[in-house]
């Protein structure tokens, strides 16, 4: 069992059971959260996008993860814009921040395509989009490393990288559209 020192942002219900903490979610939903690299991060980022009517299954957690990634990317983009506009930010840092802006816009575009791939039940397009985010999320930090500068948004990038990792793992290892299509056809 993973020791958790953070509590979830709010209580959450699953199958009529109130989940008061991240430990509760880990114990009830091990098939999802127990099989990813950053389970606590996944729970904390996806819970705000899941309500008690949403079935807690890989596909719904994946969608919530992509929405969380989108929000984190928009926050990073806002921070990059703020830093770029700050007159005290050195010009060489501003140039790198422009690269970061491109990186974050690429992630947002990839997220949009990934959500479309889910709607179309296209696992290849989904995996391609989320895999691209792995490279995208490293782009900003790598640009600062190449310039031998400390990234002012290193923590945001690290958090975003964990979300990217979680969504990719869920999509590759847990989402199987063929099974979903069969179950939909059988229910009709």
124-145 pLDDT tens trace: 889 889 999 988 989 999 999 9
Per-domain residue ranges of the chain: 55-186
The 3-state secondary structure of 38-93, one letter per residue? CHHHHHHHHHHHCCCCCCCCHHHHHHHHHHHHHHHHHHHHHHHHHHHHCCCCCHHH
Looking at residue 122, what is its pLDDT? 87
Select the more confidently predicted residue: 27 or 111: 111
Select the more confidently predicted residue: 45 or 82: 82
Looking at residue 9, what is its pLDDT? 41
Closest alpha carbon to 100 in 153, 54, 52, 62: 153
CATH of domain 55-186: 1.20.140.40
Closest alpha carbon to 9 in 63, 68, 84: 68
**DSSP character for 167?**
H
Q: What is the mean pLDDT of residues 151-180?
A: 82
Looking at residue 10, what is its pLDDT? 44
163-177 pLDDT tens trace: 888 888 887 777 676
């Amino acid at each position: 069992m993973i020791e958790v020192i953070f509590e979830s942002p709010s209580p959450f219900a699953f199958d009529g059971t109130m989940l008061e903490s991240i430990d509760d979610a880990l114990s009830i939903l091990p098939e999802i959260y127990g099989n990813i690299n950053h389970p606590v991060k996944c729970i904390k980022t996806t819970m705000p996008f899941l309500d008690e009517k949403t079935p807690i299954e890989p596909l719904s957690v994946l969608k919530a993860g992509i929405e969380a990634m989108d929000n984190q990317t928009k926050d990073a983009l806002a921070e990059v814009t703020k830093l770029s506009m700050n007159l005290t930010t050195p010009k060489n840092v501003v140039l790198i921040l422009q690269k970061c802006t491109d990186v974050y816009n690429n992630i947002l575009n990839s997220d949009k395509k990934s959500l479309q791939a889910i709607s179309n039940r296209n696992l290849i397009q989904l995996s391609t989009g989320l895999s691209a985010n792995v490279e995208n999320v490293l782009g900003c930090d790598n640009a600062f490393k190449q310039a031998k500068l400390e990234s002012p948004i290193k923590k945001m990038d690290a958090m975003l990288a964990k979300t990217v990792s979680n969504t990719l793992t869920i999509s590759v290892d847990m989402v199987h559209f063929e099974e979903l299509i069969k179950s939909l056809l059988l229910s009709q």
